[in-house]
Chain A
């Protein structure tokens, strides 16, 4: 996933002249990137942002404990959103594929609406709108409810894609064995569909974790909000937010790494198109689909 499959097709095994050109381009692009980084660092240094005493506070364990509380809040909000979003998404996906038309319309409508409304608008509604009507939730739920509304739609679409990728014969075989639709869903369709979309589900988890930073707006104690409070206290704006960025990067980076490992997992069956068994290089469009 990290290296491109198309690279080998784009160029031959490089000859001596091409190898020299590639080396030249490598050096030139490395110099340009390095130049930009150095210029940026010089600019930071000229404002004293790189001084040791502006970074030294972050060696203090107390700051990490303070940010750690925020990290716990981030994970808590993410976990709640993930559980509620996934369960609701599963029901919505099944509903959108339901044989009963009104259920299908309702779920489709919900998914399409939830996908095209900014989460922030929902958060403002929870934060400033509903209290005017006497509906006031605890601050954690002011974050988790809007995130669940948005993420359940995303989960639903991922799960639906997995269900649709499963060959029809699987369901038909189950039904012909006398299983009910619900049994077929539970025992045959969903287990396979979930395995198939596992990487996408993890990617959605990354997106959801990023969304919890909106807790900053509802003043929920999560990482970004804690960073904001901390920076207001110590005045180290750049340093604090760089540290917050780094924490998110490490956390989500490892989740993303897990997603691509799942994607590459040996023996991972591809359900729709046999892209994985296709020869290395470019896959032909409209590869024959085994249905």
Chain B
């Protein structure tokens, strides 16, 4: 057990990277995913098709393929960013498709009468979306979005496969030195479970606070 305490520094640093990946990509994907949903319900056909195509692409291509493509292949075309930002961008683009699906499920809960009322009051489409539809959709979709955020946190582990030193990668490295697989991987697993639990509880509390009671 001593080595766990001794290597607390690197582990904490790696956990910080995991949290950085999850938080940065989480915020990015919620913003991008909401914009995609807005495009998807807009009256402009080109935007609707583009949003649909975007979601279809990212839902059907494995995250690891995209990470490998972005980290190892795209530098050949001059797209070269440091490792961690690259991973954050790929995770953001990937999870945004799932957030968009979650928010779209929330759009269906917005009352038709409310939208008609906003039109009767002379709201433009942009105003209706901004003031009425999107806020209500987000509030209705807190649980699904929370599930996407948990999946995102699990997916940050894939960044280890392309060389980002985050929790999974650090656990693996520590095990190669210490040869205590059960102990080390259980500890890492418990940390991931704690992160998922924290996200789940936060989503639950947010939902209690923000849910629209009808």
The yes or no verdict on A and B being binding partners is yes
Chain A residues with CB under 8 Å of B121's CB are: none
Proximity string of chain B (99-118) to chain A, C-beta cutoff 8 Å, 1 when within and 0 when not: 00000100111111001100
Check A120–B73 contact: CB distance below 8 A. no
Q: Does A140 lie at the interface of the complex (its beta carbon under 8 Å from any beta carbon of B)? A: no
| Given known contacts A9-B112, A22-B44, A282-B110, A118 and B65 CB-to-CB distance under 8 angstroms | no
Counting residue pairs across A and B whose Cβ atoms lie within 8 Å, the total is 196
Chain B nearest Cβ from A52, distance in angstroms: 16
Contact B76 A245 (CB under 8 A): no
Query: Which A residue's beta carbon lies closest to that of B181?
Result: A129
A54's nearest neighbour on chain B, judged by CB, is B76
B78 interfacial contact with A, CB 8 Å: yes
Interface size range on A against B: 35 or more
The verdict on A43 contacting B78 (CB below 8 Å), with A9-B116, A10-B128, A248-B60 known, is yes
Asked if B210 lies at the interface with its beta carbon under 8 angstroms from chain A, I say no
Q: How far is the CB of A112 from chain B (nearest CB, A)?
A: 8
CA distance A6 to B160 in the complex (A): 41
B32 to chain A, nearest CB (A): 14
Contact B179 A120 (CB under 8 A): no
In the assembled complex, the Cα of A113 lies from the Cα of B192 at a distance in Å of 10
Q: When the two chains form their complex, are residues A129 and B41 in contact, meaning their CB atoms are under 8 A apart?
A: no
Check A179 for interface membership: any CB of B closer than 8 A: no
B41 near A25: Cβ-Cβ < 8 Å:
no
Contact of A29 among B41, B47, B168, B188 (CB under 8 A): B47
Nearest A residue to B59 via CB reads A256
Chain A minimum-CB-distance residue to B199 = A116
Q: What's the Cα separation between A49 and B77 when bound, in Å?
A: 7
0/1 interface trace, chain A 239-252, chain B, CB 8 Å (1 if under):
01110110011001
B201 within 8 A of A: no
A44 to B155, CA, bound (A): 29
The answer for the CA separation of A240 and B72 in the assembled complex, in Å, is 11
**Chain A residues positioned under 8 Å from B182 (CB to CB):** 129, 133
A282 to chain B: closest CB distance in Å? Answer: 4
Docked complex Cα distance between A272 and B160 (Å): 41
Known: A47-B77, A238-B76, A282-B112. A214 touches B107 (CB 8 A): no
A249 in contact with B77 (CB, 8 Å): no
Q: Which residues from chain A sit less than 8 Å from chain B, CB to CB?
A: 2-7, 9-12, 14, 18, 22, 25-26, 29-30, 33, 43-44, 46-47, 49, 113, 115-121, 124-125, 128-130, 132-133, 206, 209-214, 216-217, 224, 228, 231, 237-238, 240-242, 244-245, 248-249, 252-253, 256, 281-286
